[in-house]
Amino acid sequence: MLHSSSGRQGYYGVESPAIPGVQSFIALIMMQAGLTKTGDGDDQGWWLVVFGAALLGIALAYLQASRRGRFRAWSRELGALDLRGDETILDLGCARGAVTTLAAGRVPSGVVVGVDSWARSGLLANNRRGTDDQIAKNNARVEGVTDQVQFIAGDLDDLASDGNHFDVVLSGGGIGRLGSPGTRMDAIDEAVRVVKPGGRLVIADVRNTRRYAARLSELGCEDVRSHSAGYETWYGGPWLPLVFVTARKPTA
């Protein structure tokens, strides 16, 4: 089986696989057309080959970011939290549990709750591995963290949780998948509501991160910072990197 990242045993797939798929298809058509033109004596065909190769490189960079880079980036972010190992963590928009299971490996005496509205987000489409909520549970099993993980169906903008409950709130792109700017801001509000005073928030996305940071500041969070995860999480190129927004809820 082709794993999503070195050291990962679960099946996490590719985020929005149609994007690199379409890019690769167009790239191959361009390159083939360019080679045909060149073979017919049209030197302009090389431009099609060059642009096609560039587009193929963009698609490969996307696949690298989705299958490997994001896991390495999240491993670094989780390590920077310097967790004790007994924390209660929430993963907003957990999908197949990529971030959930990574976090669970760092809290052997804690618990990680993954929340996603799988049915509403269209992630319940059947495939040979089952529905995405079933895949998430199986990923927890094969990663050896079943005892530390809970998966719950719910709305990210209206969490069924008491306030000030979690030590850490994470989101690996789930907030970005919400349909409207207002809903995304509601999810940020909920993240701050349910995290404990002094608790930390780590939100990753390839867009909207400035607005996330601004909203966290508006809500009174401290140490609000944004940083790119680096070249290995370029979803096609440096113009679309994975960005982490981190913050701390004030203690009073």
The CATH number linked to 122 is 3.40.50.150
Please give the span between the terminal C-alpha atoms of the chain, in angstroms, as a whole number: 49
70 part of a folded domain? no
The average pLDDT across 140-155 equals: 95
Sign, CA dihedral 209-211-217-219, equals negative
186 part of a folded domain? yes
130 pLDDT higher than 80: no
The average pLDDT across 141-165 equals: 94
122 pLDDT higher than 80: no
Kindly state the tokens that stand for 234: 């370029």
142 part of a folded domain? yes
Strands 222-228 and 111-116, by their bridges, are unpaired
Domain extent for 215: 83-248
What pLDDT score was predicted for residue 167? 98
What pLDDT score was predicted for residue 252? 73
43 part of a folded domain? no
Q: Identify the band that residue 4 occupies on the pLDDT scale cut at 50, 70 and 90.
A: very low
What pLDDT score was predicted for residue 179? 83
The average pLDDT across 124-144 equals: 80
The average pLDDT across 199-220 equals: 97
93 part of a folded domain? yes
> Could you count the other beta carbons within 10 Å of the beta carbon of residue 162?
9
Higher pLDDT, 98 or 7: 98
3-state per-residue secondary structure call for 124-187 = CCCCCCCCHHHHHHHHHHHCCCHHHEEEEECECCECCCCCCCEEEEEECCCCCCCCCHHHHHHH
Lowest mean pLDDT segment, chosen from 53-62, 85-94, 111-120: 111-120
Q: Identify the band that residue 3 occupies on the pLDDT scale cut at 50, 70 and 90.
A: very low
CA distances to 6, 21, 104, 225 from 69, rounded to whole Å, are 10, 18, 19, 21
What pLDDT score was predicted for residue 247? 98
Domain count, the chain: 1
What pLDDT score was predicted for residue 223? 97
CA distances to 9, 63, 123, 241 from 146, rounded to whole Å, are 13, 28, 21, 31
Highest mean pLDDT among 44-48, 61-65, 85-89 belongs to: 85-89
Entry pTM: 0.86
167 part of a folded domain? yes
Q: Tell me the sheet residues that pair with 205.
A: 243
174 part of a folded domain? yes
Whole-number Å distance between alpha carbons of 118 and 239 = 29
List the strands of the sheet with 195-205, edge to edge: 149-153, 111-116, 88-92, 166-171, 195-205, 243-248, 222-228
145 part of a folded domain? yes
